[in-house]
Amino acid sequence: MKIKAYLKFAGTLIFPKAEKKSSARASLFGAITCIGLSIVPLIVVISIANGMINGMTERMIGLSTGHIQAYVAAAIDETSSSEKFKEYAKSYTEKYKDILSAYPEISITGLASGKTIRTGAQIRAVSTEVFKTNKSFTNLFEIVDGDLNEFVNAEENVKVAVIGKKLSETLELKPGDTFKIITTKTLNGIVAPKLTTFTVSAIVSSGYQELDALWVFIPIDTAFKNLSLTNANFTIMMNTNDAFSSEISRTQRILQNDNGRYANFYRWNQVHEAEYQNFASTKVMLIFIMILIVIVASVNVSSAIVMLVMERQKEIAILKSIGAKPSGITLSFLIAGGSCGVAGVLAGVPVGILLSIFSPSIINGLEWIINKCYQLVLMIQGQEINSGNVLKLLDPDYYIQNFTVDIDINNILIVSVLTILLSVFVSIIPALKAGKEKPLDIMRKS
């Protein structure tokens, strides 16, 4: 028999001409349904995880370190004044064509003290124009309250600050309020606290509360004049064409070779290695769990093929009696198993993509339903309903507030191909058994 005949037989296994009831066929379509249903959450989870991880990574790169971060030695002439430090940062854009922008910064760990509460804070002394000229700052920071122009155009002796939304809530601050920054200074070998009062000019949000809870931005000129810089870190946030380009390692090496005497240079994924690895591990674990669901669903394909072999024993016997080879019969049932995987993929992938696209709206809808039910329960129990009773499926304290779904076509293709291959793999044993069936034995049984 020719290959065409085996393909035709495989087609009759999936779409038999007879209209009689078939438990094997029902099992086959049940397996397709299970595979489709298992692919849907896998695509949704991958898309949401990609969106969240990309959102967090984008904020860490654009708002924290830049593509390359230079750690500059403190005891050199270039860091002796704000003017010299700014000129030193600017020199990198003039000397290296790959460095598109460079922003000087002084980072100090201290305490921020509000009216009644104190909390740890990272004081970031930056150039006042960074909120206007840095694209990441303009795109990723949302002005919650106040006016950034007060910070950008701050007079030399006016101590103003821009703080994160979460920090403002913790310290109960609003624009126009004053608060104290507590750092340390060393006098005659004795470490003592140093208090500096600042006025809140604006409150901003990056959409990622882990960052908003820490950052206090002050003008770099103010830091040189009013803060003790003994324990400060002098850094320069540098940006290239692409943070994920392979060329960024070469640029880092050139910078280190040319300027290693006074500064050390690190790529963003070196500075944030722990967070980046954590994101990657979380994503891998989620995908692994979802793949287990697909594997369980594919077992149904094996069961369906077993039932199909039992139901088509007479046809197998007839085909073998007219010259069909065992390998040809095996191939027909493998095609049937693979077709289940293909059908499941064709059914599940579009649904998964659609649910991924509308997942933010779906999550918001589910939150609304859950909260209404929860409030109804509280009313029945006679308890008071307030803002603290609101439940969040994705709590912004741990995730970014507004995430964009990232549908990665390459990941979907990989999932689809693996699902089809898995369907073929689990069909091997029953397909081989079908190929080894002996016509005489089948005839005797019937």
Rounded Cα distance, 180 and 168, in Å: 13
**In the predicted model, is pLDDT for residue 388 greater than 60?**
no
Residue 92 confidence (pLDDT) above 70: yes
Please check the confidence at residue 385 and state whether its pLDDT lies above 90: no
* Tens digit of each residue's pLDDT (9 = 90 or more) over 120-160: 999 999 998 899 899 999 988 989 999 888 888 877 778 89
Residue 276 binned pLDDT confidence (cut-offs 50, 70, 90):
confident
pLDDT of amino acid 236 = 95
Token pair recorded at residue 309: 């072999």
Q: How far apart are the first and last CA of the chain?
A: 25
pLDDT at 105: 95
The pLDDT, as a whole number, for residue 44 is 87
Who contacts 278 (Cβ-Cβ below 8 Å, separation ≥6)?
Answer: none
* Angstrom distance (rounded) from CA 260 to CA 386: 57
Contacts of 178 (CB under 8 A, 6+ apart): 197, 198, 199, 200
At 279, is the pLDDT very low, low, confident or very high (cuts 50, 70, 90)?
A: confident
Where do we find the tokens 């240079």? 265
How far is the C-alpha of 345 from the C-alpha of 332, rounded, in Å?
20
Averaged over 308-318, what is the pLDDT? 77
Give the global pTM. Answer: 0.74
Residue 61 and residue 347 in contact, taking contact as beta carbons nearer than 8 Å: no
pLDDT tens-digit readout, 402-444: 667 888 888 888 888 888 888 888 888 888 887 777 766 656 6
